[in-house]
Amino acid sequence: MSRILDRLKQAEAERERVVAERRRLEADADAALEAQDRDERIRQSQQRAAAPPAAAQLPPARARERAPARFGWLGALGWVAAFAALLALLLPGREAPRPVQVQAPAAAPARAGVPLERFELKLERDADSFAARARKQDGE
């Protein structure tokens, strides 16, 4: 029984050693990849710095074609405004609305059997009572 136990302990120790070795190798591989990436980035930045710009290599006509627009959105806004002005000039204008002519009634009609004079008297009484109330409130 002790031999089996010893073998199990040896197997476990071997397994731990293999796992530790694998972790060390993975860390070394990661460090090597990082160094290789760093060297490649440095090489690319040096090549970009040494190479002349792409616009300088093109003929002058092609360089103008590839040059970015100076006023991108402002230029587009100007074209839209010019197009709107052209449409406003070319499309026919609307006619002004004709004024509505309202005819004033000749006289106020009498209400359902009540003579017009009674309505006018009521209106005068209402105006007088309103004026009296207003004077009373101003006096207070």
- Residue 33, pLDDT score: 94
- Residue 83, pLDDT score: 83
Regions of the chain short of the pLDDT cut 50: none
Question: What is d(CA 107, CA 117) in angstroms, rounded to the nearest whole number?
Answer: 12
DSSP 112: T
- Residue 70, pLDDT score: 61
- Residue 65, pLDDT score: 59
- Residue 125, pLDDT score: 78
Flag whether the pTM goes above 0.75: no
**70-111 pLDDT per residue, tens:** 667 677 788 888 888 887 777 766 666 677 777 766 665 555
Residues present in the chain in total:
140
Question: What is d(CA 140, CA 136) in angstroms, rounded to the nearest whole number?
Answer: 6
- Residue 126, pLDDT score: 83
Q: Do residues 69 and 75 lie in contact, with contact meaning Cβ atoms separated by under 8 Å?
A: yes
